[in-house]
């Protein structure tokens, strides 16, 4: 699925403030490598239903193993093991004996102590990988889990690693420690690096499994319908503490959603909630909804946080136009796209905005393989759009109670005519401040 940087930013998949990002929401990794692998998974949506189902299957499997996951593998353990191959040691005896091993222990005490410390962590790491292997044996029918168990089995069957895993460091002699240290340092560097990379992948998927369970997410069902569609119940924005849930259906004969409502009524949140759910679905992750069915999308594009460019002398409106132009050029390819547009043409006067918005909507709605959600304050253009059967009209209602705005964040059928900007200005005391100047 094609997604550009602007869309990733608009949906807060990644954010300069990482704590306010979907990536942070998904990140419960325990290792640096796991976090890097998770970032890779989140950055690369999957391009086939088969791969998505494989990812879903391994997340389900790991969710079942969470209570018994070994605790012996920590970020510190992995760092010690990896650092071992980057650290210079005084040469070990080429053929360790009782005498030269004890000599090394006495006259190269710092290096011997660090070697023993490292071997302890290597043992913990290999024991942890063996425990993981045993946990995953019940899921060998899953392609990803099966590849993990096969790789672990292949590595741990090597004589030196098998001996190291069974070693008791408390009773091991200097000769035994230096003998095994020499073997793994000379011959098994790549084996340990491969196992660390493997654990990073498991750590990343386990993070997704933890979030899946903790947040009570659901796996979406991918349909092979010939044209793009989305049907979701109780879909919500996962970053909100007390989110409102929505139902949404977009399909071939109603592929365009025209969304209206006052400022702060919930339009942007709704658009982002749908976009985030579709994105999560395409990395194989569960989605924040009760149920969701959708087709595989070829691309996801948003037009939400357009900025001006002072350096290039490009106005906000000009960049809005460029973004729309680029979108049209991309999606006019007969493929399945989801397009999210929030408050189109904010950078020009109302009359121009109405004319431009109408032209864009009347054009986009003809691209039937794709789905569109567009929000606007320009409710006046809605009546002229009712002639098009594939445009559905939704709005967020706002009411006034004792001079206070009341937002119920419920999606309703129709077009909003709320004009509450001045009331918000007055409620926040700006009108009084101006009058008292």
Tokens encoding 333: 């390819």
Beta strands in 38-141 (DSSP E): none
Q: Decide: 12 and 21 in contact? Cβ < 8 Å.
A: yes
Across 252-270, average pLDDT: 90
Q: Write the CB contacts of 267 (distance below 8 Å, at least 6 apart in sequence).
A: 259, 260, 261, 342, 343, 375, 396
pLDDT over 60 (residue 125): yes
Backbone torsions φ then ψ of 339, nearest 5 degrees: -115, 125
For residue 317, the model assigns a pLDDT of 78
User: CB-based burial of residue 148 (10 Å sphere; 0-12 exposed, 13-18 middle, 19+ buried)?
Assistant: buried
Residue 424: which pLDDT band, with cuts at 50, 70 and 90? low
For residue 128, the model assigns a pLDDT of 97
The residues facing 419 across adjacent strands are none
Tokens encoding 287: 């989605």
At 168-226, the pLDDT tens digits run 999 999 999 999 999 999 999 999 999 999 999 999 999 999 999 999 999 999 999 88
pLDDT over 60 (residue 308): no
What are the angstrom distances between the C-alpha of 426 and each of 348, 377, 400, 421, 429?
A: 24, 19, 13, 9, 5
For residue 307, the model assigns a pLDDT of 56
Q: Write the CB contacts of 355 (distance below 8 Å, at least 6 apart in sequence).
A: none
pLDDT over 70 (residue 312): no
pTM over 0.75: yes
Across 224-250, average pLDDT: 95
Across 424-434, average pLDDT: 72
Share the mean pLDDT of the chain.
91
Beta strands in 151-271 (DSSP E): 221-223, 230-235, 246-250, 256-261
Q: Decide: 14 and 283 in contact? Cβ < 8 Å.
A: no
For residue 162, the model assigns a pLDDT of 96
| Residue 248 DSSP class | E
Separation of alpha carbons 45 and 58, rounded Å: 16
- Which segments of 215-315 does DSSP mark as H helices, in order? 267-281
At 37-96, the pLDDT tens digits run 999 999 999 999 999 999 999 999 999 999 999 988 999 999 999 999 999 999 999 999
Whole-number percent of the chain with pLDDT over 90? 77
Separation of alpha carbons 323 and 107, rounded Å: 69
Residue 379: which pLDDT band, with cuts at 50, 70 and 90? confident
Across 340-363, average pLDDT: 87
Tokens encoding 25: 């929401």
Q: Decide: 420 and 398 in contact? Cβ < 8 Å.
A: yes
Helix (DSSP H) and strand (DSSP E) numbers for the chain = 17, 11
For residue 420, the model assigns a pLDDT of 62
CATH of domain 221-435: 3.40.50.300
For residue 38, the model assigns a pLDDT of 98
Across 143-158, average pLDDT: 96
pLDDT over 60 (residue 398): yes
Helix (H) or strand (E) holding 33: helix 32-43
Q: Decide: 306 and 327 in contact? Cβ < 8 Å.
A: no
Sheet of strand 291-295: strand arrangement: 221-223, 291-295, 230-235, 246-250
Across 304-312, average pLDDT: 55
Minimum mean pLDDT among 59-63, 119-123, 272-276, 367-371: which range? 367-371
Separation of alpha carbons 34 and 8, rounded Å: 21
Separation of alpha carbons 194 and 85, rounded Å: 13
DSSP string covering 302-328, please? EESS---BTTTTB-HHHHHHHHHHHHH
Q: Write the CB contacts of 356 (distance below 8 Å, at least 6 apart in sequence).
A: 344, 345, 348
Q: Decide: 338 and 371 in contact? Cβ < 8 Å.
A: yes
At 272-307, the pLDDT tens digits run 999 999 999 999 999 999 999 999 999 999 998 765
Domain boundaries for CATH 3.40.50.300 within the chain: 221-435
For residue 313, the model assigns a pLDDT of 40
Q: Count CA within 13 A, CB hemisphere, residue 230.
A: 31
Whole-number percent of the chain with pLDDT over 70? 94
For residue 421, the model assigns a pLDDT of 65
């Amino acid at each position: 699925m094609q997604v550009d940087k602007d869309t990733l930013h608009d949906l807060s998949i990644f954010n300069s403030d990482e704590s306010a990002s979907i990536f942070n929401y998904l990140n419960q990794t325990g290792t640096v490598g796991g976090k890097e692998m998770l970032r890779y998974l989140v950055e690369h949506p999957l391009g086939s239903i088969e791969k998505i189902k494989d990812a879903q299957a391994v997340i389900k499997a790991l969710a079942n193993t969470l209570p018994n996951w070994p605790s012996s593998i920590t970020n510190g353990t992995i760092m010690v093991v990896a650092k071992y191959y980057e650290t210079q040691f005084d040469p070990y005896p080429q053929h360790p004996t009782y005498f030269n091993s004890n000599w090394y222990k006495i006259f190269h005490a710092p290096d011997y102590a660090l070697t023993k410390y490292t071997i302890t962590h290597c043992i913990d790491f290999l024991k942890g990988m063996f425990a993981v292997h045993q946990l995953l044996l019940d899921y060998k029918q899953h392609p990803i889990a099966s590849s993990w168990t096969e790789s672990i089995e292949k590595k741990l069957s090597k004589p030196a690693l098998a001996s190291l895993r069974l070693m008791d460091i408390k009773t091991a002699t200097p000769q035994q420690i230096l003998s095994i240290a020499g073997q793994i340092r000379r011959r098994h560097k790549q084996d340990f690096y491969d196992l660390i990379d493997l654990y990073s992948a498991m750590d990343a998927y386990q993070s997704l499994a933890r979030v899946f369970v903790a947040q009570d997410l659901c796996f979406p069902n991918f349909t092979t319908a010939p044209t793009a569609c989305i049907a979701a119940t109780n879909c919500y924005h996962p970053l909100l503490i007390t989110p409102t849930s929505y139902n949404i259906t977009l399909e071939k004969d109603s592929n365009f959603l025209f969304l209206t409502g006052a400022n702060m009524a919930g339009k942007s949140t709704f658009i982002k909630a749908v976009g985030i759910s579709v994105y999560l679905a395409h990395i194989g992750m569960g989605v924040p909804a009760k149920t969701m069915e959708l087709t595989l999308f070829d691309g996801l594009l948003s037009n939400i946080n357009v900025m001006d460019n002072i350096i290039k002398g490009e106005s906000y409106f000009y960049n809005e136009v460029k973004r729309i132009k680029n979108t049209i050029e991309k999606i006019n390819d007969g493929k399945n796209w989801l397009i999210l547009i929030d408050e189109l043409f904010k950078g020009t006067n109302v009359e121009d905005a109405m004319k431009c918005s109408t032209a864009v909507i009347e054009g986009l709605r003809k691209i039937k393989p794709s789905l569109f959600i567009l929000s606007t304050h320009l409710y006046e253009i809605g009546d002229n759009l009712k002639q098009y059967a594939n445009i559905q009209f939704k709005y967020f209602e706002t009411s006034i109670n004792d001079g206070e705005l009341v937002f119920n964040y419920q999606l309703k059928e129709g077009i909003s005519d709320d004009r509450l900007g001045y009331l918000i200005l007055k409620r926040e005391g700006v009108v009084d401040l101006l009058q008292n100047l």
